[in-house]
Amino acid sequence: MTQAVPQDPAALYGRATPRIDGPAKVTGAARYASDEPVGHPAHACLVTSAIARGRVAGFDLADAQRVPGVLDILTHENVGDALKSSPPGPDGKESTTTLESDRIWHDGQIIAVVVAESFEAARDAARRVVVRYHSETPAGSFDDEGVTEEASKPDSGENPARGDITRGFADAAVQVDAQYATPTQHHNPIELFTTTCVWEGERLTVYEPSQFMHGVKAQLAKQLGIEPRNVRAISRVVGGAFGSKGGGGGRTVWIAIAARRLGRPVKLVASRSQGFTIHTYRAETRHRVRLGATRDGRLTALSHDGQEIGSRPSKYRVGGVDVTARMYASPNIATSTTIVHADRNTPGYMRAPPETPYMFALESAMDELAVALAMDPIELRRVNDTQTDPVSGRPFSSRSLMQCYDAAAARFGWSRRNPAPASMRDGDWMVGYGCATACYPSNVGAGAARLALDATGKASVAIATHEIGTVAATVVAITAARALGIGIADVAVAVGDSDLPAVVVAGGSNNAATAALAVAQACEMVRARLAEAAVAAPDGPLHFADPATLQLAGGALVGPGNRREALADALKRVGGRVEVYAEHVPPGLPPTALRTVEGGESVMRRGTGRDDVTAFAFGAHLAEVRVHRWTREIRVPRSVSAFAAGTIVNPLAAHSQLMGGAIWGISAALHEETELDPRAARYVNDSLEGYLVPVNADVPSVEVIIVPEQDTRVNELGIKGVGELGIVGMNAAIANAVFHATGKRIRELPIRIEDLL
């Protein structure tokens, strides 16, 4: 690979590049899945369960069928054996079902699909479907009678453990033992969950916002019992996903079945409130964290027990102890993971799924330990910083955690902090400074790309990567432009179509690394082909040069001594155009990894699951919180966060992504909670008016610093990914700042005024 990690840290930065799809998005030209024009579609509306546990005793459809324009109503009583295999959960395994039987697993479950000539007719009829239930008392969350506990493990297969935890606590001069909790949260991407299905004979095209094109294709084929080659999934741009559109939804196949029954395209746009129950969410969690340390702050023991809510049949969990156990140099570690099965829809991945809740617990406990030691909380992190993963004993590929703290602290003015809680005032406002660590494992998967370069110096790249708002297509353009020595405007990029070369799910922040590596590989094939032809040409300026030394730069093929040939001339020698197909499988994955991805399963080389190094990006959040002396109103006037994530492909996009993460962390601390009515196990604020998110006035100053970092071990391009890093730890930084402002430790999110009265 010619595009190795640059030696000069300043060169790690790509140029700030506006997103290439920006004009299409702001002018309305971008086609979201439900915007795709299909001929004469019928419209679907979902009927969802009004109870959380029990069975459907029967339907009365007469009133609904009388609505003018109604074409079909699918229920478990009339769909026969159209479904060959149930839609899986977010982990690809067993989950709650939809129309498979009369069984009701959770409130808001899809139990019928109405299809009509218009959306309005479908919605009207859906409201007139009468459902008779055999209802049972549901158990919705941790404290409800009837939930069941199951011991579980993180994805790595083990709950991390090391040393002798009893001994570790016996050796400790200071201990913290505390319990923490985080709430249910929903992604609420602005683009709703939509599906449009079109059959042409045997062939099905599905337009659906998705983080995994080949996953949709393969899964749908399996559920319908048809050949994968007869399914095409298209999702050119996605209006937000955050993990909610990676899998785990049951609606898609029923729209395909409805369209087949009707012999006509069918389009579904589910409502905002249905989105709370027909897809996944961030499950509520509970934690017990115990820390032991010597007087000088060195950890002697770290124990973390996590509990997560799950649905009845699913074993999905995030298992964040896999991350928290690796954060600091503790010689003795014990962890556990427990799923608590309840009458709920299956949870799923939501931005930094394990890290957001589990790091809240660990980073709150670290702050409590700093207080118990009368030590500065940044110094406590410094004392326990390590370049070695304490669980595996392997080195971190790179770890710039303290550089992040130092950069953020200098910018923030941390030295002005009076260590005593409730000591800083500004008029009627109690002022607190809090900090916490951010981290995210560096993942990479298998990917393929097709690339063509023509004599006019224009390139086109086709890759089934996913533009979920993460500037994925721009990453592809930047990578190709840089490797081919042409302008970004000269690279046309096609993404979001399962007919294009496969890449893994856009999850786990792997996308920038995976797509860039595949595209770089394709560019290298183009370079090599042009170089071979150039050195073999007796009449050319590069005759007899070593082909390995030739580079594509500035619209030319350039050799030693600045001998060069214009790209157009070099291309003439190979017929005026080069087209290549490249596959990239990262070291450590089986050579068949790309075939597995094409088959709809995502395999990734996970930062915590590697056998050579442990790979994480790190960061530090510092936040100022102000709590009003009389009303206890909580404000966050400013935050400063610094991150080191290896090679930054596009500093402009990375900055936005990290800032968005930091804002979401503030939101997770102070705003967001999906409230559950425990009697009905039903979400009660299932709308954007009831589900609080921050507005500009809530986040007046959110600063992001990117600390240069060169990582030659994480992957060939040194890219760690920034998609999820920014949110992690900010919830704890806010809670720690609230403690510093008020002297009151809040261990359950979100923090509300009433918690501080």
Query: Which active-site residues does the annotation give?
Result: 724
In terms of CB distance, is 280 or 335 closer to ligand MOS?
280
Q: Out of 34, 109, 196, 211, name the contact with ligand MOS by CB under 6 A.
A: 211
In terms of CB distance, is 444 or 625 closer to ligand MOS?
444
Residue whose C-alpha is closest to residue 401's, from 34, 720, 753, 133: 720
Task: From 197-205, 307-315, 348-356, 553-561, give the range in contact with ligand MOS by CB under 6 A.
Answer: 348-356
In terms of CB distance, is 41 or 661 closer to ligand MOS?
661
Write the burial class of residue 579 (CB in 10 Å: 0-12 exposed, 13-18 middle, 19+ buried). Answer: middle
Q: How far is the CB of 279 from ligand MOS (least distance, A)?
A: 12
Compute the chain's Rg from CA coordinates: 27
Helix H, strand E, coil C: the string for 275-287 is HHHHCCCECCEEE
**90 near ligand MOS (CB under 6 A):** no
Give the integer Cα–Cα distance in Å for 129 and 608.
49
Question: How far does the chain reach from its first CA to its final CA, in angstroms?
Answer: 60
Q: How far is the CB of 242 from ligand MOS (least distance, A)?
A: 6
Q: Out of 246, 320, 619, 660, name the contact with ligand MOS by CB under 6 A.
A: 246
Q: Restricting to residues 550-569, name those near ligand MOS by CB under 6 A.
A: none
Q: How far is the CB of 466 from ligand MOS (least distance, A)?
A: 10
Q: Out of 54, 183, 243, 660, name the contact with ligand MOS by CB under 6 A.
A: 243
Q: Restricting to residues 484-523, name those near ligand MOS by CB under 6 A.
A: 507-508
Q: How far is the CB of 205 from ligand MOS (least distance, A)?
A: 24
Q: How far is the CB of 352 from ligand MOS (least distance, A)?
A: 7
Instruction: Evaluate whether 656 touches 717 at the Cβ level (below 8 Å).
Output: no
Task: From 32-40, 163-171, 239-247, 633-641, give the range in contact with ligand MOS by CB under 6 A.
Answer: 239-247
Q: How far is the CB of 281 from ligand MOS (least distance, A)?
A: 11
**351 near ligand MOS (CB under 6 A):** yes
In terms of CB distance, is 275 or 353 closer to ligand MOS?
353
Enter the tokens of residue 289: 């964290």
In terms of CB distance, is 409 or 645 closer to ligand MOS?
645
Q: How far is the CB of 215 from ligand MOS (least distance, A)?
A: 12
Residue whose C-alpha is closest to residue 177's, from 293, 36, 296: 293
**Which DSSP string corresponds to 322-358?**
HHHTTSS--S-EEEEEEEEE-SS------SSTTHHHH
Reduce the DSSP state of residue 164 to 3 states and report it: coil
* Total number of residues that touch ligand MOS (CB under 6 A): 10
Enter the tokens of residue 602: 């995502």
In terms of CB distance, is 210 or 647 closer to ligand MOS?
210
Give the integer Cα–Cα distance in Å for 757 and 739.
13
Task: From 103-111, 241-249, 590-598, 634-642, give the range in contact with ligand MOS by CB under 6 A.
Answer: 241-249
Q: How far is the CB of 211 from ligand MOS (least distance, A)?
A: 6
For 76, half-sphere exposure in the C-beta direction (CA atoms, 13 angstrom radius) is 20
In this structure, how many other beta carbons lie within 10 angstroms of the beta carbon of residue 359?
28
Run of H or E residues at 532: helix 511-536
Task: From 172-180, 196-204, 345-353, 712-720, give the range in contact with ligand MOS by CB under 6 A.
Answer: 345-353
Task: From 43-51, 252-260, 343-351, 634-642, give the range in contact with ligand MOS by CB under 6 A.
Answer: 343-351
For 470, half-sphere exposure in the C-beta direction (CA atoms, 13 angstrom radius) is 28
In terms of CB distance, is 17 or 185 closer to ligand MOS?
185
Residue whose C-alpha is closest to residue 381's, from 351, 358, 404: 404
Q: Out of 302, 318, 350, 513, name the contact with ligand MOS by CB under 6 A.
A: 350
Buried b (16+ CB within 10 A) or exposed e, 130-163: ebebebeebbbbbebeebeeeebbbeeeebbbbb
- Length of the chain, in residues: 757
Q: Out of 59, 349, 360, 683, name the contact with ligand MOS by CB under 6 A.
A: 349
Give the integer Cα–Cα distance in Å for 326 and 403.
18
In this structure, how many other beta carbons lie within 10 angstroms of the beta carbon of residue 35?
14
Q: Helix %, strand %, coil % for the chain, to 5?
A: 30, 25, 45
Reduce the DSSP state of residue 300 to 3 states and report it: strand
Ranked by CB distance to ligand MOS, the top (closest) residue is 243
In terms of CB distance, is 501 or 507 closer to ligand MOS?
507
**353 near ligand MOS (CB under 6 A):** yes
In terms of CB distance, is 507 or 665 closer to ligand MOS?
507
- Where do contacts with ligand MOS occur on this chain (CB under 6 A)? 211, 242-243, 246, 349-351, 353, 507-508
